[in-house]
Structure 1
Amino acid sequence: MNVIAGKYKHRKLKTLPSLSTRPTTARVKEDLFNILNNYFIFTNKISLDLFAGSGALSLEGLSRGIKKAYVNDLNPEALEIIKENFHGLDPDDFVLSQSDYLVLLNQLVHNQVKVDLIYLDPPFPHTEYYEQFFQKLASINLLNNWGVVVVESPIPLEEIINGWLKLLKSKVVKSKVDKYLYIFRLEEN
């Protein structure tokens, strides 16, 4: 797997050799960023990846102009892979953490961090994480107005959101296991 575009284009990425993470495939990542380019300007924005795996989505965002990436994975082996993939990058451009995602959300709010882009791609067996995440996000002040949430899910999510985020785009990616890609945006008046 490689970075697709931007200043780190063609940079090779390592992934965990086990089944403990499920990296976003190159095709899905390319689809996701092609869609995202229509709705989001990366330059000088702040991103958050709660279940980073290899860090591929955050690195792609940094490559395209993200100013600061908060990159999290609870799995210590995944965090080591992320460190390898981010080797040589300016350490001021990212913050790595190994926290439960709900604990991290609370820490970020406590530290008055606001983000413009959230990647949500938890381990597929944990579908309860999607509802927990959106309930938590609705109750905290973390996402900037016009901020975007990008989701890869094994299940349809339209009913979980309840309209407080605007659905910009959804796509079903057909494969052995169908995946649903969503791009939501916070649009407060």
Structure 2
Amino acid sequence: MRIVSGKFKGRRFSPPTHITARPTTDFAKEALFNVLNNYISFEDCVVLDLFAGTGSISYEFASRGVKRVVSVEMSDKHLDFIHKIRQELGLMKVVYPIKMNVFRYIQQGKEQFDVIFADPPYEMKELPQLPALVLQGNLLSDDGIFILEHSAKQDFSQEPNFLEHRQYGNVNFSLFTRKVN
């Protein structure tokens, strides 16, 4: 796992072998962030990373200069790794790990985010409902971007607020926005 751009470009991390998360590939991550360059100014963003896993996406956003990243993860092992890398990179005031069930966080969260990224397990039964849950709540700021990583089995193009779909190898991203008219 490596950070592909920004302040920490090229930094490599080896997650412990006992971690079960499936980190987004470097190729897909780099391509996604190139797409995001067209939609957002990283320096002005507050980001929510749901199903944070190893924190790979959180570090990528932090490396690009976002104000803050909230990383929601349930696994103690994954959170320990996020805390370790956060400390190594000096991101104590940028990356904020939270141990919580993502669906409870979506229901209870009070803060708004400019970008929400979710990388749930591809076979999670609630995955098809995730865009509606995120977009119907108050977590995404007006004109914010919600990015859902998923397998090729899912098609979200008919969802309200669907923006675009990108595929990089076996990794698929669907982007949504809550546009203000």
Tell whether the structures are fold-level matches, with TM greater than 0.5.
yes
Gaps of 5+ in 1: none
1:65 match? 65
Task: List per-residue Cα deviations over 1:11-54 (Å, max 9, x = no partner).
Answer: 22232424621111111111111111111211121100111111
Name which of 140, 144, 153 aligns with 1:143: 140
State the shift of 1:78 in Å. 0.8
- The two structures, once aligned, show a CA RMSD in angstroms of 1.8
1:14/1:85 contact within 8 Å kept: no
1:119/1:151 contact within 8 Å kept: yes
How many residues matched? 179
1:182 match? 174
2:129 match? 132
Matches of 1:99 and 1:63, distance apart in 2: 24
Give the alignment of 1:1-189 within 5 angstroms: 1-18=1-18, 20-88=20-88, 89-109=90-110, 113-126=111-124, 128-154=125-151, 155-158=153-156, 162-163=159-160, 165-167=161-163, 169-174=164-169, 178-189=170-181
1:54/1:81 contact within 8 Å kept: yes
Q: CA 1:19–1:67 in structure 2 vs 1: closer, same or farther (change >3 Å)?
A: closer
Q: CA 1:21–1:54 in structure 2 vs 1: closer, same or farther (change >3 Å)?
A: same
2:135/2:178 contact within 8 Å kept: no
Per the normalisation by structure 1, the TM-score is 0.86
State the shift of 1:9 in Å. 1.6
Q: Percent identity over the alignment?
A: 27
2:19/2:77 contact within 8 Å kept: no
Matches of 2:22 and 2:13, distance apart in 1: 14
Per the normalisation by structure 2, the TM-score is 0.89
Q: Given residue 170 of structure 1, which amino acid in structure 2 is its aligned partner?
A: H
State the shift of 1:125 in Å. 2.0
State the shift of 1:131 in Å. 2.6
Gaps of 5+ in 2: none
